[in-house]
Amino acid sequence: MTPSGKPTVTITYCIGCNWLLRAGWMAQELLQTFQDQLGGVTLVPGDLGGIFEIHVDKELIWERKQDGGFPDVKELKTRVRDRINPEQDLGHLDRGKTGE
């Protein structure tokens, strides 16, 4: 957590795989959705080897190899929300395809 007491997200990406743009886009999506709830999103260049990990504070919430690729925006926002504010409604992302 930051000095403000707000959680932070860290995205570690493989520099050899050129995943900076993907990591940056995900950071932007999180900052837009959780503007006043996050203390920040940090992008960390990782070593070669295909690393792509997302942590909320020190808790790993996504690991590319373990979770089978990259999260879509719905999955990413849901996992972050579940850690920082489980009661928050994510609007259309929380509704099923049938328009629940």
pLDDT, tens digit, 9 for 90 and up, residues 32-79: 999 999 999 999 999 889 999 999 999 999 999 999 999 999 999 999
Q: Which are the contacts of 20, defined by CB distance < 8 A and separation ≥ 6?
A: 13, 43, 45
Rounded percentage of the chain residues whose pLDDT exceeds 70: 91
pLDDT at residue 8, rounded to an integer: 97
Closest by CA to 83, choosing from 24, 38, 43, 42, is 38
Tell me which architecture the domain covering 8-85 has in CATH.
Answer: 3-Layer(aba) Sandwich (3.40)
Q: Which are the contacts of 70, defined by CB distance < 8 A and separation ≥ 6?
A: 22, 52, 64
For residues 94 and 81, what is the distance between their CA atoms, to the nearest angstrom?
Answer: 11
pLDDT at position 96 over 80:
no
Provide the token pair at 34: 């959780």
Tell me the average pLDDT across 9-22. 97
> Which residue ranges make up each domain of the chain?
8-85
